[in-house]
Amino acid sequence: MKMLIGEKWVGKEEKIDVLNPYNNNLVDTVPSGDKDDVEAAFQAAEKGYKTNRDLPVHQRVSILYQTAEIIKSRQEDFAKTIAMEGSKTIKEARKEASRCIDTITISAEEARRLVGETIPFDSREGSENRLGYYFRFPIGIIVAITPFNDPLNLVAHKIGPAIAGGNSVVLKPATVTPLSALKLGEAFIEAGLPWNILNIVTGRASKIGDVLVTDPRGRMISFTGGTEAGLDIVKKAGLKKIGMELGSNSPVIVMDDADLNRAVELSVSGAFWAVGQNCIGVQRIYIHDAVYEKFEKLFVEKTKKLKVGFQLDEDTDMGPMITEEEAARVQKWIEEACQEGAELLTGGKRKGTLCEPTVFRNMPTSAKLNCEEVFGPVVNLYKVASLDEAVELANSVKYGLHGAIFTRSLENAFKAIKELDVGGVMVNDSTDYRIDMMPFGGVKWSGLGREGIKFALLEMTEPKVVCFNL
């Protein structure tokens, strides 16, 4: 596949192989973009911004709706691309393709709702003859940098609101999973999006990352990825808007009055969806000591039933990790935790990129698996005596994206809602629950700003005040 820059699809002699992480088979190749390609993309995006800024809202809406229809007509093809280039099973990939349709559709709907307000200037003495209002205008070029774990829908979460708001985009998809983004770009162009508005540069971060984030023509950086990369971007970006969805190691609290079967089912799914390569995946579960033994038994039994294998097989529950390097890192963290005294309940082994779903108890607070984001199929079970203890432990790490509590008590639920230091609290659900219209983001080291179409659209536009002195 080729890059989308300006008014054409661009190929290069130097290419990057896109490999299936299960068997290392070649899926396709993409150009290895460099700083000259980034420069060409910015020059095109400057033209694209002027074009999209002046497009009537109904045309942006029509393009977005048509793009969603194209994706829907090719949903299985998109799903297979997601699964072949990444870690998701075909069942998980179908869900992502479906969510992408929602994301683009919601972007069309929210484009109509980008409104301002009148301002009562005469509320101040001496301004009796003044009246006016504000409206929102696009900020310019959005630099979008996306991760491998949701290679289609997280791209849509940046492109959709950017286009809806009248901006242009320079997108760098994840090096290992660029194909879904390029297919989405094809759908936008087929739907009638004018050239130059959307530019997609494929390449390695080591070659084009700094050029992308430091260019002053980019008026906002919308980044989803690891915390260390996010910190590096903040240091280099300069004076521009920044939206970041970073890491987490999401906590779940299970109280003694919880529906244990529901808590187990949803927490197992939340821990091992997409091989645990999920920023809101369940990593720490704090269980009231009155129900701990039963919960642990049910949780381990259900985990052992998960089938690990080729991600395109219909009966596979958990596919491979994205690279063998990442799988080896997770295995190392598991071995370190065992050496520090954590008790392994199931899993812990790997073969190539295939890691067993792994469950621990008695994880030391100093272990990486407790305080860092594992981004792999590992979950820790902890026994607690009270909700206060659970909340204190849940808040004890530097992340704060999503938290969850299973309880039948409104008092418990609202206490957790108030005291958990996170961007979202799921009650009687897994931390990995999300719909694409809700505000999404975290506190502390989990990010800056909020995604979710309406909220991203506000980030990607600014209010302009108009005042008449009559």
> Which residues are known catalytic residues?
245, 279
Distance CA 198, CA 196 (A): 6
Angle between helix axes 205-214 and 35-54 (nearest 10 degrees) is 40
Tokens representing 120 are 């009562």
**Residue 415, class by beta-carbon neighbours within 10 Å (0-12 exposed, 13-18 middle, 19+ buried)?**
middle
* Region at 348 (left for phi over 0; alpha for psi -120 to 50; beta for the rest): left
Strand pairing category for 241-245 and 218-224: parallel
Kind of pairing between the strands at 130-138 and 461-469: antiparallel
- Of 182, 199, 145, 203, the residue nearest 14 (C-alpha): 203
Rounded Cα distance between 279 and 247, Å, is: 6
CA distance 209 to 235: 13
Strands (E), 140-217: 141-145, 168-172, 198-200
221 touches 448 (CB < 8 A): no
SS3 293: helix
Tell me the H-state helices in 55-171.
57-73, 75-85, 90-111, 153-164
Residues 77 and 64: their CA atoms lie apart, in Å, by 19
Expressed in angstroms, the distance from the first to the final Cα of the chain is 58
Task: Decide: 183 and 78 in contact? Cβ < 8 Å.
Answer: yes
Give the Cα separation of 357 and 332 in Å (integer).
Answer: 15
Distance CA 448, CA 237 (A): 14
Taking Cα atoms as reference points, which of 43, 227, 178, 192 lies closest to residue 108? 192
Q: List Cβ neighbours of 426 (8 Å cut-off, separation of 6 or more).
A: 402, 403, 404, 405, 433
The H or E element containing residue 344 is strand 343-346
